[in-house]
Amino acid sequence: MRLSISPHVRGLSLALIAALLVAACGGGGGGGNGGNTGGGNTGSTCSLTNRQNWVVTQMNEWYLYPETLPANINVANYASIDALISALIATAKSQNKDRDFTYLTSIAQETALINSGSTAGFGILLYYDLTARRVFILEAYESAPAYITASIDRGDEIIAIGTSANDLRSVSDILAAEGRQGVSNALGPSTAGLTRVLRIARGSNVRDVTVSKADYSLEPLSPRYGARIIDDGGKRYGYINLRTFIVSSASTRLREEFAKFRTAGITEVVIDFRYNGGGLVSVAETMGDLLGGNRQTSETFSETVYRSSKSSRNSLKRFSPQPESISPMKLAFITTSSSASASELVINSFIPYFNDRLALIGGNTFGKPVGQIAADNAACDDRLRVLAFTTRNSANSDAYFNGLAEAVKASCRASDDFTRALGIASEGSTRQALDWLQGRSCTPIPATTAQAASASGIGQGTTVESGEILDLEPVPVSGQPTPAQREIPGLF
């Protein structure tokens, strides 16, 4: 998913920005669908009815699939904006086009996240083994409380959760009774200062730690393993693990690391998107340019396409090689069912140019070739992320709602070995990526549907265009998911 005020589209005019920020009341507009029968202004600007009417207006104006919107809808029938949005997208969702990609969030929270990566929590990414009823840590963010104050890291297992040492409840019991939502409830909302006691196991070493949630900054590339040069089999390979496209500083960090690759003469790269749910299209475009040192400025990276009534907003992004760009000969993308949106945009954009010199490693991707814009009702701190565009590659392809395994010519199944650190040659998916780059045979990833592919159990993320944010399926969280939780599924 992806965030900020609404620079969503390249060249978005000030007039359009103003239109998106208007807190409209009443229905109508758009493609003639979704007429509002819920009444006009009712009391305060931010009354539920006024906010709902505004949502209907934005949907009529921008929704990518206007033909799927209800012909008439009475907002009075819905007790919340979320319930209203669910009704508005119901037909598109049944057609697998909008899997809750359209949603309401907070302008303030998204702006903080996109500008500085700021969010609140423990700073851990969870993996749920629902069969064995266990929960493991996939990643721990270096600037967050869990890593700093309790030394929690990848491979640790949470075996009990409590508000104090006296009420610890086993994760196995929680999952048996309440599923993943129960774990989310036990960990509590994303509120700075909220404290939990966690029983953590690593092998035979078991310890109880007290951790308080706090505001911290998401680092798009880990300072430990976000980028490195791996020596393996007598050759050097570039490795990039981009956690999220959500933070605008990701472009700067990518430039820094690709400059090192260029200096080292790297021509084969492992790009690790395994937990990357997407984010800013502008960052995806930067990554495309950095990987496109041998591309021409006349060649297309991606095309953004809106509904027919908004076709004047369609745009074409051509490659623009940068001083830090490299000219790779082979690309190996590590993916899972949580690799979505902007992650998929980058991969899809390179398929026509690399063909069988590009591979998916790990599992099938989520399947989100569409993106959201941001429509703001500033007086109420409401940001509606409206599914409004699709992204296509130079072959005019955006047909990967079931994931990219059907679109790529080369792929290798691989495990996410969270008992080992990320970015080392012996970790399961990284090892398989290196083996493929070295020409070894492997078992292809089956082209399963996105739903069947969600083996990790950590959910999916989003994609936005040039400053926007997009969202995939909601992740079980206690209370309303934060923008960071939408972008990085499984984050707490």
Domain check: are 342 and 201 in the same one? no
Domain check: are 421 and 436 in the same one? yes
Structure token digits, residue 475: 């992740």
Instruction: Choose the final residue of a domain: 151, 185, 217.
Output: 217
How far is Cα 320 from Cα 317, in angstroms, rounded to an integer?
Answer: 9
Average pLDDT of the residues of the chain:
85
Whole-model pTM? 0.84
Contact 285, 302 (CB under 8 A): yes
Domain check: are 15 and 102 in the same one? yes
Domain check: are 77 and 128 in the same one? no
Structure token digits, residue 319: 């490659």
Beta strands, E only, 76-222: 103-106, 118-121, 124-129, 134-140, 157-162, 169-170, 195-202, 205-212, 214-217
pLDDT in tens, 419-430: 999 999 999 999
Domain check: are 223 and 88 in the same one? yes
* Three-class DSSP category at 483: helix
Domain check: are 199 and 335 in the same one? no
Position 485 scores a pLDDT of 67
Q: How far is CA 61 from CA 56, 237, 267, 425, in A?
A: 9, 47, 45, 49
Contacts of 254 (CB under 8 A, 6+ apart): 221, 240, 242, 283, 286, 287, 290
Find the largest Cα–Cα distance for the chain. 72
pLDDT in tens, 88-141: 999 999 999 999 899 999 998 888 777 766 677 999 999 999 999 999 999 999
Instruction: Choose the final residue of a domain: 168, 194, 217.
Output: 217
Domain check: are 86 and 202 in the same one? no
Structure token digits, residue 280: 């800013």
pLDDT exceeds cutoff 60 at 256: yes
Domain check: are 236 and 209 in the same one? no
Domain check: are 258 and 180 in the same one? no
Q: What is the mean pLDDT of residues 58-87?
A: 97
Domain check: are 380 and 333 in the same one? yes
Residue 30 confidence class, pLDDT cut points 50, 70, 90: very low
The CATH number assigned to the domain holding 433 equals 3.90.226.10
Count of residues making up the chain: 492
Position 204 scores a pLDDT of 94
- The count of structural domains within the chain is 2
| Better-scored residue on pLDDT, 125 or 469 | 125
Instruction: Choose the final residue of a domain: 217, 234, 258.
Output: 217
The CATH number assigned to the domain holding 137 equals 2.30.42.10
Radius of gyration, CA atoms only, the chain: 22
Question: What sections of 33-80 are H helices per DSSP?
Answer: 48-62
Among 153, 170, 159, which Cα is nearest to 135's?
Answer: 159
Through-space distance between the first and last CA atoms of the chain, rounded to whole angstroms? 16
What's the domain range around 183?
120-217
Helix (H) or strand (E) holding 230: strand 227-232
Domain check: are 284 and 389 in the same one? yes
Domain check: are 180 and 318 in the same one? no
Position 35 scores a pLDDT of 44
